[in-house]
Structure 1
Amino acid sequence: MSERAEAVIRAWAAEAGFDVCGITSADAVAGAGPALLAYLAEGRHGEMAWMEGRAAERAALSALWPGAKSAVVCGLNYGPEDDPLALLERRDRGAVSVYARHRDYHDVVKAKLKRVARRIHGEMGAAVKVFVDTAPVMEKPLAERAGLGWIGKHSNLVSRGFGSWLFLGVIATAMELAPDAPHAERCGRCRRCLDACPTAAFTGPWRLDARRCISYLTIEHAGPVPRALRPLIGNRIYGCDDCLAVCPWNRFAQAAAETKLKAREDLRAPPLAELAELDDAAFRARFSGSPVKRIGRARFVRNVLIAIGNSGDAALAAAAEARLSDAEPLVRGAAVWALARLQPWDVFCRRAAHIEEGDAMARAELDAARQEREGRADGG
């Protein structure tokens, strides 16, 4: 295939709104398979069973689709307008990860990929398949091989032009295309991303234990968040940007163009008290079209209550107390934890006295709070 095909595809990607596009072979990341299997064997993926179910297919696009010859990897800039870490100081507000402040990126990226894929199929006659995150495709290693950037020590893609702020999507095609040169790793001795992690989720460069990651805990983890990690979450109610935001390569990044990706104003710094009041219908309405909606109301309000418990703001105790009678056990348990941190012990005990014996999750939180209180009283 002539170079013209690659150039045309890149032009189509730019017309569709992508900021960067690269090409690699369908089996370019076959060597990543053993590393993935080792990661799964160590249990560092936590409850993300979907990673195990199709692990063999993740090794290479050709394993997922035997007809695939090439991968067209596209990147969409979602860089924030300001420092997302500044919001962590506003403890009465919830911090939503930058990527989730827009319309669901799965929908945005997939729509753009389909525009490009239709042209490859229609004008070049090649079979195509489109993948955005939910399929068993290793987008980041493919992007590195396609020259879009390199995988940083935080295990995310880093770009010289867009820092750590790129959404990725892949078009697999049966057409043979000339691959771009892989990008060299340029982290050097820097370890800012590793040191910035609030929960010490990195056991070393390129070694993330998802079970301690705030993004995992607030999005993927379904049950109560481990008590020891809750105070470290701060006011992060959906995801975490710390390791991404401190990357030195972000100095070359730019805010995403609003014509391509517009952030929702109501997700920039939402009040915690307001979010705690959301019932199921209000939650669905507020987060319609947002990736936040995918975790469901109970898990989200659990996150909000953890943030309320970390706020140190006694004025938010009323919002937590209102959730003691919530229909969801997960929410009631988080409300007990938040209230115990915000109110004097005698006041808390009076407020929590009506918790029913059969309410296992709330009772467990109440007992744990008592044990912690007794430990402090004993000097433990």
Structure 2
Amino acid sequence: MPKLIAELRARAVALGFDSFGITSTAARPDLPEKLRLALERGWHGDMDWMAETAERRSSPNALWPEAKSAILLGVNYGPERDPLALLAEKSLGTISVYARNRDYHEIIKGKLKELAGLLARRSGADVKVFVDTAPVMEKPLAEAAGLGWQGKHTVLVSRDFGSWLFLGAIFTDAELPVDAPHAESCGSCTRCLDICPTQAFPAPFQLDARRCLAYLNIEHKGPIPAEFRVAMGNRIYGCDDCLAVCPWNKFAKVSREARLRARDDLERPHLADLARLDDGGFRSLFAGSPIKRIGHGRFLRNVLIAVGNSGDDTLTSLAETRLGADDPLVRGASIWALRRLAPERADAARQDYETDEADDTVRAEWTAELSG
């Protein structure tokens, strides 16, 4: 068995994995209760799939009763530059580090399958691979496998890679020797909690997704709640604030996977260019990117909120152009953006658009009190 584990570790490195650890599928008996409390408090927002898959998500053995061991693997996606620097450049859009290039699911899953195949061939065991697309709680399992620990921002923190690790898992019915779990090492630091622009952490190690900008501009399907729009700033996809301020990032390394490093056109995208995208242009620009999954309408919603926060009056006409969009999500965001940038022009446009507006949420945007 030691020879097999050594071979798996070596192959994992060759495939591009940066972290490797093994744990028992029964290592975290506390997970069902943690998940139950989070769901009862509604912290999952409108991610109904979390509640629907709660039983299977709560334990690896609820998902696959025969599983005995879990191999957890991490791929570093550390950025080359400080991702928070762009927040001050209000006419540019800020995209979360992980989404500035290829969809990591596509990159990691193939590597996982190859490594799992090696394990199956050498041991005769059954295997299953998971990469954030099945009801698996990868972060606490990765903590149990020694890859790092779940920080106060709930993201896995590594001594070698800071907060920048993608995780994948291989479950097997083979009983493998386990690694020691990693102790929580945040100490008294609260930087990740303090920087959150929407106070999304009810307490350390707890996250209320309903207040998280990454949830709101990716998972949430409706209008961005008014109370969070100004705080959203120019974050058009995701939010890296809590990850980027982690002190352990001082040991982080730039990703060695070229497909996970930022594309030039997604590192400093101008809001003007993004606001002009039609559906075809959106699909073309974000082909192979996780951003494509939220669709053109939700993406424009995010861009228009950023336009409204930009203070850049050269973007005013772009907000006006979207007042007649087919998607009510886009129309509503364009009204908010126009009212923020040019109240007089918004008042004039209201006469042309409000009377014929059939969507109640869009009509409400014309009269809602502006925050900020």
| TM-score, normalized by the shorter chain, greater than 0.5 | yes
Structure 1 position 47 matched with structure 2 position 57: no
Paired position in structure 2 for 1:346: 344
Q: Does the CA contact (< 8 Å) of 1:154 and 1:208 recur in 2?
A: yes
**DSSP-derived class of the 1:204 partner:** coil
Paired position in structure 2 for 1:69: 68
Paired position in structure 1 for 2:168: 169
Measured after TM superposition, the shift of residue 327 of structure 1 is: 1.1
Paired position in structure 2 for 1:17: 16
Note the 1:261-276 alignment, pairs <5 A.
261-276=260-275
Paired AA for residue 213 in structure 1: C
Q: 1:84 to 1:250 in 2, by over 3 A?
A: same
Note the 1:164-313 alignment, pairs <5 A.
164-259=163-258, 261-313=260-312
Measured after TM superposition, the shift of residue 372 of structure 1 is: 4.7
Note the 1:78-157 alignment, pairs <5 A.
78-157=77-156
CA distance in 1 between counterparts of 2:258 and 2:163 reads: 20
CA distance in 1 between counterparts of 2:59 and 2:208 reads: 23
CA distance in 2 between counterparts of 1:53 and 1:350 reads: 46
Determine what percentage of the aligned residue pairs are the same residue. Answer: 57
Where in structure 2 are there 5+ consecutive unaligned residues? none
**DSSP-derived class of the 1:288 partner:** coil
Paired position in structure 2 for 1:363: 363
Measured after TM superposition, the shift of residue 278 of structure 1 is: 1.2
Measured after TM superposition, the shift of residue 183 of structure 1 is: 0.2
Measured after TM superposition, the shift of residue 234 of structure 1 is: 0.3
CA distance in 2 between counterparts of 1:21 and 1:134 reads: 20
Measured after TM superposition, the shift of residue 282 of structure 1 is: 1.2
Q: TM-score of the superposition, structure 1-length normalised?
A: 0.95
1:60-114 per-position Cα deviation (integer Å, ceiling 9, x unaligned): 2111011111001000000000100000011001000001112001111111101
CA distance in 2 between counterparts of 1:105 and 1:282 reads: 22
CA distance in 2 between counterparts of 1:209 and 1:254 reads: 29
Paired position in structure 2 for 1:315: 314
Q: Does the CA contact (< 8 Å) of 2:77 and 2:257 recur in 1?
A: no
**DSSP-derived class of the 1:353 partner:** helix
1:107-165 per-position Cα deviation (integer Å, ceiling 9, x unaligned): 11111101101111123221100001110001000000000000000000000000000
Deviates more, 1:278-287 or 1:210-219: 278-287
**DSSP-derived class of the 1:228 partner:** helix
Q: 1:119 to 1:258 in 2, by over 3 A?
A: closer
Paired AA for residue 367 in structure 2: D
Paired AA for residue 351 in structure 2: A
**Number of aligned residue pairs:** 370
Paired AA for residue 8 in structure 1: E
Measured after TM superposition, the shift of residue 260 of structure 1 is: 6.0
Q: Does the CA contact (< 8 Å) of 2:104 and 2:260 recur in 1?
A: no
**DSSP-derived class of the 1:119 partner:** helix
Q: 1:24 to 1:260 in 2, by over 3 A?
A: farther
Q: TM-score of the superposition, structure 2-length normalised?
A: 0.97
Q: Does the CA contact (< 8 Å) of 1:337 and 1:365 recur in 2?
A: yes
Deviates more, 1:258-267 or 1:191-200: 258-267
Paired AA for residue 192 in structure 1: R
CA distance in 1 between counterparts of 2:276 and 2:358 reads: 21
**DSSP-derived class of the 2:86 partner:** helix
Note the 1:20-35 alignment, pairs <5 A.
20-35=19-34
Paired AA for residue 150 in structure 2: I
Measured after TM superposition, the shift of residue 259 of structure 1 is: 4.1
Q: Does the CA contact (< 8 Å) of 1:355 and 1:362 recur in 2?
A: no
Measured after TM superposition, the shift of residue 367 of structure 1 is: 1.4
Q: Does the CA contact (< 8 Å) of 1:117 and 1:171 recur in 2?
A: yes
Measured after TM superposition, the shift of residue 285 of structure 1 is: 1.2
**DSSP-derived class of the 1:251 partner:** helix
Structure 1 position 328 matched with structure 2 position 348: no
Q: Does the CA contact (< 8 Å) of 2:98 and 2:260 recur in 1?
A: no
CA distance in 2 between counterparts of 1:258 and 1:338 reads: 38
CA distance in 1 between counterparts of 2:297 and 2:274 reads: 12
The 4+ residue runs of structure 1 with deviation greater than 6 A are: none
CA distance in 1 between counterparts of 2:264 and 2:84 reads: 17
Cα RMSD of the aligned pairs, angstroms, is 1.4
